[in-house]
């Protein structure tokens, strides 16, 4: 981990030094998450798979890394007024927990269609909830109102340098845990996670391939890559509730330049991957957390000659916050 | 781990040297399982809890440690004829996998009421299945017949020195991972796991308390402790399918002498603990695997002044092999 970064030109919202600084800032608060492996899943995929289990992170998702970095980066005079965000769940819970640790209020705007367990996490960590409609516009309006009333600082779920740097700490850990890693598969939504992971990993070793996994019903990132500009969609339809956001101004350049490919999978594949995570890995994952496994098992990945020599594949299991009844319904419907 | 054992008088079926030897023998085959923790569960219990996740062991349970030690202890001329056992599941799968790794046949007698996922594990690892009735007598008769036909070596699920030594390797890992551990809570059934764990832990530090967790519907160990001799029950009735066996001649002396107390919990508490493991820890556990958490949250433990200063509590999460429909049914019935 003492390697000097080879590709740090400071042209993105985060860089190797900002990610190293984040690691130092948050290290006493976050879990170093374990890496699991399974011979059964290795056989199924024909590779060696290394599951970086962010579902075991505090709050049940990687989001705590970025939120913690953002909250502890704030100068005291700003922090005292609190933080605010709008999020369908994991970022909201993460921000609530980080704010609680710093002893400041967290105002959380939650869309009415958020998963129950994610709302419970926010409440468990002392977040102050304001409800909005599901549409992004309503979420933003309600958040603006909260800011006006409280003076709280908006912490965007992904289009924020501090967030991106925090998420990048996953790569620092993973490369230390599994030095032979040659590929990392990362769920993509707004792009905060994959931006941090890509910048950190490619700084350490530019040969590490970064592949995104995206659900078909919200494949804006794949469309953006294909057309060379940010594409947003009129609507999204996927079981992966954590992957319905669109790329932002800070994450798009990283996705454009540093993400080697985007593997699109359908919900059926995601659900089957959830089942495998549960049955084989013994890990409770949310749909977004299972999509990396779905990607590595998909024909699009297996049959692509470009990825033939991806031998040691890191899979970011991004989170584990799934209502058991949702999991059960999805699995039994498909069985 | 270089400590000299303080209490190794070789009076039990395993001792510190046999457990150290087992660790050396199996280390290239087994996973070093991670230890998880959760502030939420710490708050609920009023202690620091350290979950030793044997559900992530190969085969999804701690049983692989003992099976692996037994199989690789066999001299070549015995090994070549294969191994045989009767087991409701986890030991059977573990023995199948260990035998497969050594390249010898495993004959598995499975009672007809074994959980589906455990049978699937046996088949996945190439075990050769013979069915028996659920009763222990039928299991033993069918196994005897297989031995007669094949000359295979019987590897008992728990009443076997090699098995006990293998399970004891958990303590060696746990004490190294969490040096401040002062208490270990262990599910108890036939007693192989807790015997190994107790001998190893007390050898390293005699002050470490060893507490057993047992389901009310199969509380033969608690009854045995209370009456000073092995008690067996006419029948057992608990959701914890892995905890229905009775103590054996080799495990009883260890349980009698080295286990500080047995905490009996009912199935309702076990199911609630499973729910917490799933929702908070994000880990898929079988009922037997959740019983340690159930014990630490029970009034019998919390209100017992003897355990008031158990501050750093290791909980052996023994396995994760649970059919999802069973989990769902149990949880939804209770909700």
Say whether pLDDT at A98 is over 70. yes
The per-residue pLDDT for A335 is 60
The per-residue pLDDT for B335 is 59
Chain B residue closest in CA terms to A38: B58
Put simply, the answer to whether A56 touches B39 (Cβ < 8 Å) is no
> Residue A53 is encoded by which pair of tokens?
């289990």
The CA R_g of chain B, rounded to the nearest whole Å, is: 18
Say whether pLDDT at A4 is over 50. no
Q: How confident is the model at residue A87 (pLDDT cuts 50, 70, 90)?
A: confident
Query: Taking an 8 Å Cβ-Cβ cutoff, which residues of chain B contact chain A?
Result: 31, 34, 36-37, 39-40, 53, 55-56, 58, 60, 117, 124, 275, 278-279, 281-285, 320-321, 324-325, 327-328, 331-332
Shortest distance between the Cα of A281 and any Cα of chain B, in A, equals 7
Put simply, the answer to whether B36 touches A56 (Cβ < 8 Å) is yes
Chain A residue closest in CA terms to B34: A34
Chain A residue closest in CA terms to B116: A279
What span, in angstroms and rounded, lies between the C-alpha atoms of B294 and A331?
A: 27
Q: How confident is the model at residue A10 (pLDDT cuts 50, 70, 90)?
A: low
Measured between beta carbons, which residues in chain B are less than 8 angstroms from residue A279?
117, 284, 324
B168 to each of A146, B164, B186, B226, how far by Cα in Å? Answer: 56, 6, 12, 25
Put simply, the answer to whether B58 touches A39 (Cβ < 8 Å) is yes
Q: Which of B88, B171, B189, B318 is catalytic?
A: B88
The per-residue pLDDT for A329 is 79
Q: How confident is the model at residue A1 (pLDDT cuts 50, 70, 90)?
A: very low
Measured between beta carbons, which residues in chain B are less than 8 angstroms from residue A40?
124
Shortest distance between the Cα of A50 and any Cα of chain B, in A, equals 13
Please classify residue A333 by burial: count the beta carbons closer than 10 Å to its beta carbon, then call 0-12 exposed, 13-18 middle and 19+ buried: exposed
Q: How confident is the model at residue B1 (pLDDT cuts 50, 70, 90)?
A: very low
Chain B residue closest in CA terms to A331: B324
Chain A with chain B: Cβ pairs closer than 8 A: 55
List chain A domain ranges: 16-62+160-334, 63-154
Say whether pLDDT at A9 is over 90. no
Measured between beta carbons, which residues in chain A are less than 8 angstroms from residue B40?
124
Q: Phi/psi at B51 (nearest 5 deg)?
A: -90, 110
> Residue B115 is encoded by which pair of tokens?
């959980």
CB B173 within 8 A of CB B52: yes
Question: A287-297 vs A267-276: helix axis angle to the nearest 10?
Answer: 100
Measured between beta carbons, which residues in chain B are less than 8 angstroms from residue A58?
39
Shortest distance between the Cα of B90 and any Cα of chain A, in A, equals 14
The per-residue pLDDT for B86 is 87
Closest CB from B31, B282, B331 relative to A55: B282
How high is the ipTM of this complex? 0.89
Chain B residue closest in CA terms to A282: B284
Q: Which of A45, A73, A87, A88 is catalytic?
A: A88
Which residue has tokens 């044997």? B54
Put simply, the answer to whether A331 touches B324 (Cβ < 8 Å) is yes
Closest CB from B56, B284, B332 relative to A284: B284
Give chain A's length.
Answer: 335
pLDDT in tens, A113-135: 888 888 888 998 999 999 999 88
> Residue B98 is encoded by which pair of tokens?
């260990």
pLDDT in tens, B228-253: 999 999 999 999 988 988 999 999 99
pLDDT in tens, B4-57: 444 445 689 999 999 999 999 999 999 999 999 999 999 999 999 999 999 999
Closest CB from B320, B325, B331 relative to A282: B320
Put simply, the answer to whether A285 touches B285 (Cβ < 8 Å) is no
The per-residue pLDDT for A6 is 44
Shortest distance between the Cα of B185 and any Cα of chain A, in A, equals 21
The per-residue pLDDT for B7 is 44
Q: Which of B63, B118, B202, B225 is catalytic?
A: B63
The answer to whether residue A225 is catalytic is no
Query: What is the rounded average pLDDT for all residues in chain A?
Result: 93
Put simply, the answer to whether A58 touches B36 (Cβ < 8 Å) is no
Shortest distance between the Cα of B257 and any Cα of chain A, in A, equals 34
Q: Which residue has the higher pLDDT, A227 or B242?
A: A227
Measured between beta carbons, which residues in chain B are less than 8 angstroms from residue A285?
282
Measured between beta carbons, which residues in chain A are less than 8 angstroms from residue B53?
282
The per-residue pLDDT for B8 is 45
CB B301 within 8 A of CB B313: no
pTM as predicted: 0.92
Measured between beta carbons, which residues in chain A are less than 8 angstroms from residue B34?
34, 36
Shortest distance between the Cα of A124 and any Cα of chain B, in A, equals 9
The per-residue pLDDT for B315 is 98
Most confident of A83-92, B124-133, B260-269: B260-269
Shortest distance between the Cα of B215 and any Cα of chain A, in A, equals 22
The CATH number of A16-62+160-334, from 3.40.50.620, 3.40.640.10, 3.40.50.1100, 1.10.3210.50, is 3.40.50.1100
pLDDT in tens, A230-257: 999 999 999 998 898 899 999 999 999 9
pLDDT in tens, A52-76: 999 999 999 999 999 999 999 999 9
Which residue has tokens 């402790």? B225
B16-62+160-334 and B63-154 in the same fold: yes
Closest CB from B34, B325, B332 relative to A34: B34
CB A247 within 8 A of CB A255: yes
Read off the DSSP letter of residue B208.
Answer: S
Instruction: List the strands of the sheet with B312-317, edge to edge.
Output: B35-36, B48-53, B312-317, B183-187, B209-215, B261-265
* Distant-in-sequence, close-in-space partners of A256: CB < 8 Å, separation ≥ 6: A224, A225, A228
What span, in angstroms and rounded, lies between the C-alpha atoms of B249 and A261?
A: 60
Query: What is the rounded average pLDDT for all residues in chain B?
Result: 93
Put simply, the answer to whether A36 touches B34 (Cβ < 8 Å) is yes
The answer to whether residue A88 is catalytic is yes
Q: Which of B57, B61, B282, B319 to mutate to test the interface with A (most CBs of A within 10 A)?
A: B282
Which residue has tokens 């993400």? A259
CATH of domain B63-154: 3.40.50.1100
């Amino acid at each position: 981990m003492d390697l000097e970064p080879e590709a740090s030109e400071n042209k993105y919202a985060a860089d190797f030094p900002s990610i190293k600084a984040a690691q130092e800032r948050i290290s006493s608060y976050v879990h170093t998450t374990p890496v699991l492996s399974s011979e059964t899943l290795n056989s199924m995929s024909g590779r060696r798979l290394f599951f970086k289990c962010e579902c075991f992170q505090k709050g049940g998702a990687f989001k705590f890394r970025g939120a913690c970095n953002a909250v502890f980066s704030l100068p005291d005079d700003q922090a005292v007024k609190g933080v605010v965000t709008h999020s369908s769940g994991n970022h909201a819970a993460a921000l609530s927990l980080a704010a609680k640790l710093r002893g400041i209020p967290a105002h959380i705007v939650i869309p009415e269609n958020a998963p129950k367990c994610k709302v419970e996490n926010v409440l468990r960590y002392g977040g102050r909830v304001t409800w909005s409609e599901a549409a992004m516009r309503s979420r933003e309006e309600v958040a603006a109102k909260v800011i006006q009333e409280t003076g709280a600082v908006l912490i965007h779920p992904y289009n924020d340098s501090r967030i991106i740097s925090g998420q990048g700490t996953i790569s620092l850990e993973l490369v230390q845990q599994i030095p032979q890693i040659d590929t990392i598969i990362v769920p993509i939504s707004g792009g905060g996670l994959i931006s941090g992971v890509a910048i950190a990993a490619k700084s350490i070793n530019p040969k590490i391939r970064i592949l995104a996994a995206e659900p078909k019903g919200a494949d804006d990132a794949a469309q953006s890559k294909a057309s060379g500009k940010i594409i947003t969609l009129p609507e999204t339809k996927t079981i992966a509730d954590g992957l319905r956001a669109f790329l932002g101004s800070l994450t798009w350049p990283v996705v454009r330049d540093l993400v080697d490919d985007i593997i699109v999978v359908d919900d059926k594949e995601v659900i089957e991957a959830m089942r495998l995570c549960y049955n084989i890995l013994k890990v409770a994952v949310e749909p977004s957390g299972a999509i990396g496994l779905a990607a590595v098992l998909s024909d699009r990945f297996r049959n692509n000659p470009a990825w033939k020599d991806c031998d040691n594949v890191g899979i970011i299991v991004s989170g584990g916050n799934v209502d058991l009844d949702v999991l059960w319904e999805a699995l039994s419907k498909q069985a």
